């Protein structure tokens, strides 16, 4: 659990740093980020590389993070809520992944299901 938290913190920092770095590289007027020295850029690149390395490293755990049977049950429930429209289910999951990055697949399934149930109960 701590490893997952640390991974999310490192990834968040990496995303922020990469965004600043990309904006710096793309900006025709780079004066607004002129406070970056060459050593700062080197440190930023090291942080980006660490974030990439950490993101690609699997977390070793004795327990699986996601139980396959639970995932399958959630997938079945989602498909039944969207009348077996696989494309719609995938679009909804993709939208949630974009809005809420760095969560587990299980979380996205539950989120979409809860949103659909809430919509159906109010509408």
Tell whether the model's pLDDT for residue 34 goes beyond 80.
no
Report pLDDT for 54. 67
| Among 74, 112, 73, residue whose Cα is nearest residue 92 | 112
Exposed / middle / buried, residue 71 (Cβ in 10 Å: 0-12, 13-18, 19+)? middle
Mean pLDDT of the chain: 76
Report pLDDT for 87. 92
What's the CA gap between 95 and 101, in Å, rounded? 10
Please state, as a whole number, how many other Cβ atoms lie within 10 Å of the Cβ of residue 113: 19
Report pLDDT for 12. 74
Give tens-digit pLDDT for 92-120: 999 999 999 888 899 999 999 999 999 88
Give tens-digit pLDDT for 58-81: 555 444 544 678 889 999 999 999
Highest-pLDDT range among 1-5, 47-51, 92-96: 92-96
Locate the domains of the chain by residue range: 2-56, 68-122
Select the more confidently predicted residue: 100 or 46: 100
Report pLDDT for 62. 46
């Amino acid at each position: 659990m701590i490893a997952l938290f640390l991974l999310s913190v490192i990834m968040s920092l990496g995303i922020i740093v990469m965004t600043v770095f990309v904006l710096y590289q793309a900006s025709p007027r780079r004066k607004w980020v002129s406070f970056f020295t060459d050593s700062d850029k080197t440190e930023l690149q090291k942080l980006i590389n660490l974030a990439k390395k950490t993101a690609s490293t699997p977390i070793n755990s004795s327990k699986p993070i996601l139980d396959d049977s639970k995932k399958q049950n959630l997938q079945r429930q989602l498909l039944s809520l969207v009348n077996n429209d696989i494309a719609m289910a995938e679009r909804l999951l993709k939208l949630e992944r974009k809005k809420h990055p760095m969560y587990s697949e299980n979380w996205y399934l539950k989120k979409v299901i809860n949103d659909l149930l809430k919509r159906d109960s109010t509408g």
